[in-house]
Each structure stands twice: as C-alpha cells, then as structure tokens.
C-alpha cells in the first residue's frame, strides 16, 4: 500500500523519524550523564536536544497522521499496530515533555524526570519496532508494484537462477 504522504513515491514519515528519535534518546543519555557527573553543561545540552527533539517529532507526526488516516485500512491488524505505534509515540513525547518540567534550579532533572526520560526512550524504541512491523510485515507504505523483482520475488528469482 503506497504511502499517502510521499515525495515521488518515497514515504515522508520514515525520512523524518530518525531526528526526534536521535535527539530525544541522546537527550536522555545526557541527562543521565549530568546526574552522575553533577555537570550542568550536560543538562543544558540535554534541554536543547529535548526541545529540538519535540519540535522534530511534531514535524514527523504530520505525514504519520496522513498515512494513518489515508493508508492504513481500518479494522485490520495493521490498524491495530498503527494505533499502538501512535499511542507509544504520543506517550513517549509526554514523558519527555513532563520530564522537562522536572528540572531543578541547577538545570538537572530530579529522579522522576530521569525516570520519565528513560521510559520515554523505551517507548520510542517500542514505537519504532511497531513501525517496522507496519512496513515489513503489514506492507504499509510499501509500493509493491514498483519494487524491483529481486525484492518482491527474491525466493522465486533464486530458484530460477539455480534452474529449479
């Protein structure tokens, strides 16, 4: 099923999701390092990365929402996976946003804020796994008609090349 939000056949959502994932998970790592080292500069960097990560997540969400409503067939296993994917992402963003509000006067996060960052990173990872499930197992966003034969029928091509 070809993605609704695409540029010349290339789905937009998968192009954008590495940015929030990298920024937010690295921000969590910086916050953990800041708590272990008592170094405010690490917290300062984590704060900027979090803000950039939340902003890029909103940008990545737009084509994701378009695909959810325009590509994913309702009442299917793919729809359930897509809904779980979206809920995990929204929950992760909430963890990061609420965690950001837990900064102390020195800029470092309290224990609750750190726990929310770790939970948010776990939720982002789970959402990524669910996104992979949508693409690789449910074929959401994949335009099979334009796939090279070697990718679509690789088993058949292999057997044919061996004369079987």
Per-residue pLDDT for the chain (164 aa), expressed as one digit of tens each? 678 888 887 888 989 999 999 999 999 999 999 989 877 889 999 999 999 999 999 999 999 999 889 888 889 888 999 999 999 999 999 999 999 999 888 888 999 999 999 999 999 999 999 998 888 887 777 776 655 544 445 556 556 666 66
**What is the predicted pLDDT for the residue at 112?**
95
User: Among candidates 92, 77, 72, which has minimal Cα distance to 25?
Assistant: 92
Q: Who contacts 79 (Cβ-Cβ below 8 Å, separation ≥6)?
A: 72, 73
Global model pTM greater than 0.95: no
**What is the predicted pLDDT for the residue at 113?**
94
In residues, how long is the chain? Answer: 164
**What is the predicted pLDDT for the residue at 72?**
83
- Tokens linked to 47: 């704060």
Residue 160: Cβ within 10 Å count: 10
Residue 148: Cβ within 10 Å count: 9
**What is the predicted pLDDT for the residue at 161?**
62
**What is the predicted pLDDT for the residue at 155?**
57
Contact 9, 16 (CB under 8 A): no
Contact 47, 97 (CB under 8 A): no
**What is the predicted pLDDT for the residue at 88?**
97
Residue 88: Cβ within 10 Å count: 20
Cα four-point dihedral sign 43, 91, 56, 130: positive
Question: Could you give the 3-state DSSP secondary structure of residue 116?
Answer: helix
């Amino acid at each position: 099923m070809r993605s609704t939000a695409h540029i010349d056949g290339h789905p937009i959502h998968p192009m954008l999701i590495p940015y929030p994932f990298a920024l937010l998970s690295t921000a969590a790592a910086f916050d953990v390092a800041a708590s272990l080292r008592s170094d405010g500069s690490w917290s300062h960097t984590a704060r900027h990365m979090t803000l950039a990560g939340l902003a890029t997540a909103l940008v990545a969400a737009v084509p994701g929402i378009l695909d959810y409503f325009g590509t994913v067939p309702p009442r299917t296993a793919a729809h359930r996976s897509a809904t779980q994917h979206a809920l995990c992402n929204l929950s992760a963003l909430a963890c990061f946003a609420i965690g950001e509000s837990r900064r102390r006067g020195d800029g470092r996060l309290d224990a609750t804020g750190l726990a929310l960052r770790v939970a948010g990173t776990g939720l982002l990872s789970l959402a990524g796994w669910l996104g992979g499930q949508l693409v690789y197992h449910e074929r959401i966003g994949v335009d099979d008609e334009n796939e090279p034969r070697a990718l679509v029928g690789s088993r058949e091509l292999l057997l044919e090349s061996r004369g079987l």
